[in-house]
């Protein structure tokens, strides 16, 4: 995997092509006051990456679909299912104290709460700390009382891109998102949790991107 | 910013060049049973990206330094100083209860603890939750008693790459790292905290990478 940053001249070429398309390499060379030979490598990069399209006998045009080329958005092509972890789940009757113990034993930041096999809520370390501060008897209160409840949980699906997942994590200011499968039961939509993606998964993926280069 | 993935033929070319370098485009074309003209775009990409080097009258050789070209490791070139946030700092005499309140008010996951302007410790939401569970009187105990103390804190510096920071976050299983400036006082090394980078900063950067494409 390689990351390329366009040079100022390549950016300038794109700008000119956008304005004047179709435009020949000769016309481009004239506008930039360079020889056609000097432009050749830049035009090679820009067509190979699919940014520009070279139409025989017409000239260069700006392409709207770089995905057809060897360049594509790697980040947008990694799927949630490729980077998700096993979710840690509990029942909503579990007492807060036991849930916190379970959180520590599994070394996660968020517990997902199920009822009859379907996602009904989520509780984060932050929620637990708030409760612990408040003097609540944690041995009495079930986790279902303090959790964030559906439909107020942001979910993603297995085929969503890592990019979409990361964007949702940032926009909704959460640490972790459940990866779910939607199931219709009558006219009711239910969610089966099949994984979770946290900022840790995204950070790990980021490191992997750097490793790959 | 563009991400490019090499085509199978481009990978094959790199493999052949590594084995047979220096090798001319004619020899390469022969090995791949294609015309020289057909190879031209691939060789353009491979030399522009700095993977191969074209030596006049010698042939193609495999280059060890792609950083000289327009392609470079973007991730490794973003600096800690470019993505760091303002750290939330407290004094070690602060009582645990007040520190937790401060943590919530600033909506962060980690507090950094200073003494006379220098970093001496760090406390995370996880540390606080552990204390809250233990029945400690949070109004009596100062945060300095429960914090992770220097030199057991992993630090990074302003010029470190985002890649290095993310790698340290994953390897040391922490949520947040302080960005420090090292100062010598006699033969003692002191750390001035100038920023912090959490998994949130890395996730935000990841989203930005996707946005840029």
Three-state SS letters, chain A: CEEECCCHHHHHHHHHHHHHCCECHHHHHHHHCCCHHHHHHHHHHHHHCCCEEEECCCEEEECCCHHHCCECCHHHHCEHHHHCECCCEEECCCEHHHHHHHHHHHCCCEEEEEECCEEEEEEEHHHHHHHHHCCCCCCCCEHHHHCEECCCCCCEECCCEHHHHHHHHHHCCCCEEEEEEEEEECCEEEEEEEEEEEHHHHHHHHHHHHHHC
Is residue B6 over pLDDT 90? no
The overall longest dimension of chain B from CA atoms, in Å, is 80
Distance from CA of B198 to the nearest CA of A (A): 9
Q: Is there a contact between B6 and A70 if contact means CB atoms under 8 Å apart?
A: yes
Domains along the sequence of chain B with CATH: 8-72 (1.10.10.10), 76-212 (3.10.580.10)
Query: Rounded to an integer, what distance in angstroms lies between the CA atom of residue A152 and that of residue B167?
Result: 33
DSSP for residue B192 = E
Touching check for A135 and chain B: CB below 8 Å?
A: no
What's the pLDDT at B11?
Answer: 85
Q: Is there a contact between B132 and A130 if contact means CB atoms under 8 Å apart?
A: no
Q: Is there a contact between A73 and B3 if contact means CB atoms under 8 Å apart?
A: yes
Q: Is there a contact between B166 and A72 if contact means CB atoms under 8 Å apart?
A: no
Element (H, E) at B191: strand B188-198
Residue whose entry in the numeric block shows the structure tokens 């009904």: A120
| CB environment A93-108: b (16+ within 10 A), e (fewer) | ebbbbebbebbeeeeb
DSSP for residue B71 = B
pLDDT in tens, A57-94: 999 998 765 443 333 356 667 899 999 999 999 999 99
Pull the structure tokens for residue A156: 């993603």
Query: Rounded to an integer, what distance in angstroms lies between the CA atom of residue A99 and that of residue A110?
Result: 10
Pairing of strands A52-55, A59-62: antiparallel
Residue whose entry in the numeric block shows the structure tokens 């103390």: B149
Among candidates A161, A166, A155, which has minimal Cα distance to A122? A155
Query: Rounded to an integer, what distance in angstroms lies between the CA atom of residue A156 and that of residue B23?
Result: 50
What's the pLDDT at A151?
Answer: 92
Best of A45, A139, A169, A204 to mutate (most B CBs within 10 Å, chain B) = A45
Across the range B142-150, mean pLDDT stands at 96
Is residue B89 over pLDDT 50? yes
Distance from CA of B138 to the nearest CA of A (A): 9
Q: Is there a contact between B204 and A170 if contact means CB atoms under 8 Å apart?
A: yes
Across the range B66-72, mean pLDDT stands at 36
Q: Which residue of A has its CA nearest to B46?
A: A45
User: How many other C-beta atoms are found inside a 10 Å radius of the C-beta of residue A161?
Assistant: 18
Q: Which residues of A touch B166 (CB under 8 A)?
A: 203, 206-207, 210
Pull the structure tokens for residue A18: 């956008």
Pull the structure tokens for residue A195: 């994984």
Query: Rounded to an integer, what distance in angstroms lies between the CA atom of residue A54 and that of residue A46?
Result: 10
Query: Rounded to an integer, what distance in angstroms lies between the CA atom of residue B112 and that of residue B96?
Result: 13
pLDDT band at A135 (very low <50, low <70, confident <90, very high): confident
Query: Rounded to an integer, what distance in angstroms lies between the CA atom of residue A38 and that of residue A44?
Result: 11
Distance from CA of B106 to the nearest CA of A (A): 13
What's the pLDDT at B67?
Answer: 40
pLDDT band at B209 (very low <50, low <70, confident <90, very high): confident
């Amino acid at each position: 995997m390689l990351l390329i940053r366009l040079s100022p001249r390549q950016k300038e070429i794109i700008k000119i092509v956008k304005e004047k398309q179709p435009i020949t390499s000769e016309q481009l060379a004239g506008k930039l006051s360079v020889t056609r030979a000097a432009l050749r490598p830049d035009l090679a990069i820009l067509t190979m990456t699919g940014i520009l399209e070279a139409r025989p006998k017409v000239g260069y045009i700006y392409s709207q679909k770089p995905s057809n080329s060897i360049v594509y958005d790697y980040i947008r092509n990694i799927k949630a299912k490729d980077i998700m972890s096993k979710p840690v789940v509990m029942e909503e009757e579990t007492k807060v104290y036991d849930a916190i113990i379970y959180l520590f034993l599994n070394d996660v930041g968020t517990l997902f709460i199920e009822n009859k096999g379907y996602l009904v809520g989520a509780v984060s370390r932050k929620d637990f700390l708030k409760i612990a501060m408040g003097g609540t008897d944690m041995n009495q209160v079930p986790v279902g009382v303090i959790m964030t409840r559906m439909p107020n949980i942001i979910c993603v699906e297995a085929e969503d891109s890592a990019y979409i997942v990361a964007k949702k994590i940032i926009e909704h200011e959460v640490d972790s998102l459940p990866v779910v499968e939607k199931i219709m039961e009558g006219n009711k939509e239910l969610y089966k949790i099949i994984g979770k993606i946290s900022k840790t998964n995204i950070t790990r993926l980021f490191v992997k991107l750097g490793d790959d280069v």
